[in-house]
Amino acid sequence: MLHFLFVKFLSKETAMNRKNGSKSRSDVRESLLKRQQELLILLDGQRGQLNGHQDGADLVDDAFEEIANTIGSELIDIINQELLLVELALQKVSDGIYGKCEACNKKISKTRLSIVPYATLCARCQKKAEGGNHHYSRKRQFKR
């Protein structure tokens, strides 16, 4: 039986922090450690599903399993990427540089950090990094 794993990008605690505002350094560290543990559990479960290969009775079963394994491998990559970001954020907390943009060296907004606690760039630099220099708005789209 195939179980699909949906990676949750925001934990309940992260959602609560958006409502409560800023967090102390120890609170940030605790949240990051909690997310790290969640990701390790997800990673272990997903790897277990990939290792549970069974030979299918026919080509359809084999094809379905191949698709499931491809999706599982992609999920493992996503989990690993987030895990690396969390570990980097934990190191920054330890070094006392958590919350500084790696590009412009300015503070990352508390709102952004409450949503993406492992953000390495401020919103402005992130937009530039993604090539988001669009001057497009919905008003222009629907203007007659």
- Helix, strand, or coil (residue 14): helix
Contact 107, 22 (CB under 8 A): no
Q: 133 vs 80, which has greater pLDDT? A: 80
Q: How many whole angstroms separate alpha carbon 78 and alpha carbon 93?
A: 23
Mean pLDDT of 81-95: 96
Q: Which two tokens stand for residue 125?
A: 């630099």
Contact 130, 141 (CB under 8 A): no
| 87: pLDDT strictly greater than 70 | yes
Q: Which two tokens stand for residue 124?
A: 């402005």
Mean pLDDT value across the chain: 79
* Maximum average pLDDT range among 54-58, 98-102, 128-132: 98-102
| 71: pLDDT strictly greater than 80 | yes
| 125: pLDDT strictly greater than 80 | yes
Q: Burial of 72 by CB count in 10 Å (0-12 exposed, 13-18 middle, 19+ buried)?
A: buried
Q: 108 vs 50, which has greater pLDDT? A: 108
**pLDDT, tens digit (0-9, with 9 covering 90-100), for 12-58:** 444 444 444 456 888 999 999 999 999 999 999 898 887 766 665 68
Q: How many whole angstroms separate alpha carbon 107 and alpha carbon 23?
A: 15
